[in-house]
A and B are shown apart, each in its own frame.
Chain A
Amino acid sequence: MTGRSPVARIDVRAHACPVTWVKARIALARIAEGEVLEVLLGDGEPRENVPRSAEEDGHRVVRLEPAPEEGTGTWRAWLERGAPREERTWP
């Protein structure tokens, strides 16, 4: 677990995949390496896909837990931004 508190927060519960991850990815790009983003997610596909995509993209999932105080079926993910990756893989 990280001791750091989130520096930013987004709510993607109104969106479906892949927009959920796209919005999280954009928000992660706006914070510094090592900082934490809080993402409010719906249960099911977003809860599965966003943390997995974050890890595949080089970030770290430091918390994933139900957040019933935010609404029924809501989950909270804390994503710690990883090191920027070299993305130019086009020929």
Chain B
Amino acid sequence: MALSEAEVARYARQLLLPGMGEAAQETLRGARVRVTGGGLATAPAVYYLAAAGVGTLWMDDPDLVTPGAGAGFALGPIDEGRPRAAALAAFARSANALVLAEPFRPGMRPTALLVCGSNLDVSRAIADEARLLQLPHVVADVDGQGGAATTVPVGAPCYACATRPGLGAPPSAEGGATVGALAALELLLLLTAASQEPRARRVEVFRGTPLVRATERQPGCACMGPAAAGLAP
């Protein structure tokens, strides 16, 4: 379905970007992205995904908003005690009234995931679930000096293959904002196929300086297939 007058007006500047256009914007409108985890990158990423016109955003976060915890700039004292998924959904709708945003519920069928776990183990578990469901996903990791966004198209080297241990420094809100925006952009490029190959890549940001590298499978990783995972008969 063609873009409406309201959508053309809302996304006018974005529609002029390289690789964008009506078809790409329609693709974003048709996307259903499940945003999982309560890390510092979550709220910035949600903001940019909503602003860019991802049609459906499902917030998957079972926690409540607590004072000063994990949701970054989006949630304030008025949200304390609310389910964070509902508060983030309201935040997304305030960023762009043209998108549907609501808490994730079992049975919803996303077309992609954005993983914003509060630590590497949580992110790894969610990313592995996405891989098994054959859903493209981007994982945002925040650390004390910045962080990384790992893009995992279907069938690509998995997040575990791509992950490098961080410095172990406590994550910062500034890192969350940077990596959240970066992860959202990576997911938008993946959904619209606007980026160049290889799309399976990891963008690491260290003190504001980005480094991009293609990801590679690690020998013996389960993502190599059933034989490598020991599941083949």
Contact = CB atoms under 8 A, between A and B. Distances in A.
B195 A25 contact: no
Contacts, number: 44
Contacts of A91: 195-196, 212
Interface residues of B, number: 17
A87 B22 contact: no
B196 A22 contact: no
Given A26-B22, A29-B21, A29-B22, A88 B195 contact: yes
Contact of A90 (B12, B16, B195): B195
A72 interface: no
B19 A22 contact: no
Contacts of A87: 18-19, 21, 194
Contact of B196 (A18, A19, A21, A88): A88
B8 A19 contact: yes
Given A29-B22, A90-B189, A23 B194 contact: no
B194 A90 contact: yes
Contacts of B21: 25-26, 29, 87
B3 to A, nearest CB: 7
Contacts of A89: 18-19
Interface residues of A, number: 14
A25 B19 contact: no
Contacts of B194: 87-88, 90
Contact of B19 (A19, A29, A88): A88
Interface string B181-210: 000000001000011100000000000000
A22 B212 contact: no
A22 B195 contact: no
Interface string A9-52: 00000010011011101100100000000000000000000000
A15 to B, nearest CB: 8
B8 A21 contact: no
B19 A18 contact: no
A35 to B, nearest CB: 17
A19 B9 contact: yes
A28 B19 CA distance: 15
A25 B16 contact: yes
B18 A22 contact: no
B92 to A, nearest CB: 24
B13 interface: yes
A52 to B, nearest CB: 13
Interface of A: 15, 18-19, 21-23, 25-26, 29, 87-91
25 contacts: A15-B9, A18-B12, A18-B13, A19-B12, A21-B16, A22-B8, A22-B12, A25-B16, A26-B3, A26-B15, A26-B21, A26-B22, A29-B21, A29-B22, A87-B18, A87-B19, A87-B21, A88-B19, A88-B194, A88-B195, A89-B18, A90-B19, A90-B189, A90-B196, A91-B196
Interface of B: 3, 8-9, 12-13, 15-16, 18-19, 21-23, 189, 194-196, 212
